[in-house]
């Protein structure tokens, strides 16, 4: 369902026009969504690192700042189960972009972006800790917020609210 949401004047985040990547990464990108002024690239895991490197280096995009990597658990029986959303920002052009990858539960692996932005180190560690998504090539993949020998991934929907 989508009511028409008016753009209020208090919010002025500009999102980048990412159509330039559509042809270059046609087999990585699944779709480009624009809602409430925010642009999301839904991509496949294959070619993710190349896409991110291109987004970082391409002069008209110049996403030199990885703002956040957020994980979402879409439900215990949902397929795909996890979504990982990369929020990018370019200081030079002052525009943002969201890149989203959907993952199945038994194949929850992603390549690390450590070589693209160093900020991904702790951000990916938290997603590993909270959701159990594995980041291949991560220099230091271990739990960050929970104790080192903890079992279970707290932000999954089947993890009880009160814990164990």
Partner 1 sequence: MQARELVVPATSTISPLSMLRKPDPLSDTRMTVSMGPQHPSTHGVLRLELVLDGETVVKAIPDIGYLHTGMEKTMEKEKWQQVVTITCRMDYLNSMGNDLGYCLAVEKLMGVEVPERAKIIRVLLTELNRIASHLVWFGTHAMDIGAMTGFFYAFTHREKILDLFECATGARFHQSYFIIGGARWDVPDNFIPLCEEFLDGFPSLLAEAKKLVTGNKIFQTRTKGVGYISKEDALDWALSGPTIRGSGVNWDIRKSEPYSDYETYDFDVPVYDGGDVWSRYLVRMDEFHESWKICRQALERLKTVSGSVKSDHPKLKLPERDLMKQHIDVMIHHFLLASEGFTVPVGEVYQSIESARGEIAYYIVSDGGERPYRVRVRTPSYVNLAALPAMVEGSLIADVVAVIGSIDIVLGDVDR
Q: Which parts of the chain are beta strand (E)?
A: 29-35, 38-43, 65-73, 82-90, 95-103, 109-111, 134-136
C-beta closer to partner 1: residue 21 or 130: 130
C-beta closer to partner 1: residue 10 or 23: 10
C-beta closer to partner 1: residue 12 or 26: 12
C-beta closer to partner 1: residue 68 or 136: 68
Length of the chain, in residues: 164
CA distance 76 to 2: 25
User: CB 84 → partner 1: shortest distance, Å?
Assistant: 11
User: CB 48 → partner 1: shortest distance, Å?
Assistant: 18
Q: What is the tally of helices (H) and strands (E) in the chain?
A: 3, 7
Q: Are strands 82-90 and 65-73 parallel, antiparallel or unpaired?
A: antiparallel
User: CB 46 → partner 1: shortest distance, Å?
Assistant: 24
Residue ranges binding partner 1 (CB under 8 A): 1-3, 5-14, 35-36, 38, 40, 64-68, 70-73, 85, 87, 91, 94, 96, 98, 117-119, 121-123, 126, 130, 140, 142-149, 154-155, 159, 161, 163
Q: Of 31, 2, 6, 5, which Cα lies nearest the Cα of 18? A: 31
């Amino acid at each position: 369902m989508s009511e028409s949401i008016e753009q209020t004047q208090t919010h002025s985040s500009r999102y980048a026009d990412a159509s330039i990547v559509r042809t270059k990464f046609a087999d990585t990108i699944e779709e480009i969504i624009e809602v409430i002024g925010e642009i999301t690239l839904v991509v496949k895991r294959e070619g993710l690192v190349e896409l991110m490197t291109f987004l970082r280096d391409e002069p008209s995009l110049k996403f030199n700042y990885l703002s956040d990597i957020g994980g979402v658990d879409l439900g215990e029986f949902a397929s795909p189960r996890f979504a990982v959303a990369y929020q990018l920002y370019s200081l030079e052009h002052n525009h943002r972009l969201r890149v989203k990858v959907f993952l199945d539960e038994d194949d929850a692996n992603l390549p690390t972006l450590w070589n693209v932005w160093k900020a991904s180190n702790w951000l990916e560690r938290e997603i590993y800790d909270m959701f159990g998504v594995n980041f291949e090539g991560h220099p230091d993949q271990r739990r960050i917020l929970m104790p080192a020998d903890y079992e279970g991934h707290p932000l999954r929907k089947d993890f009880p609210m009160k814990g164990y």
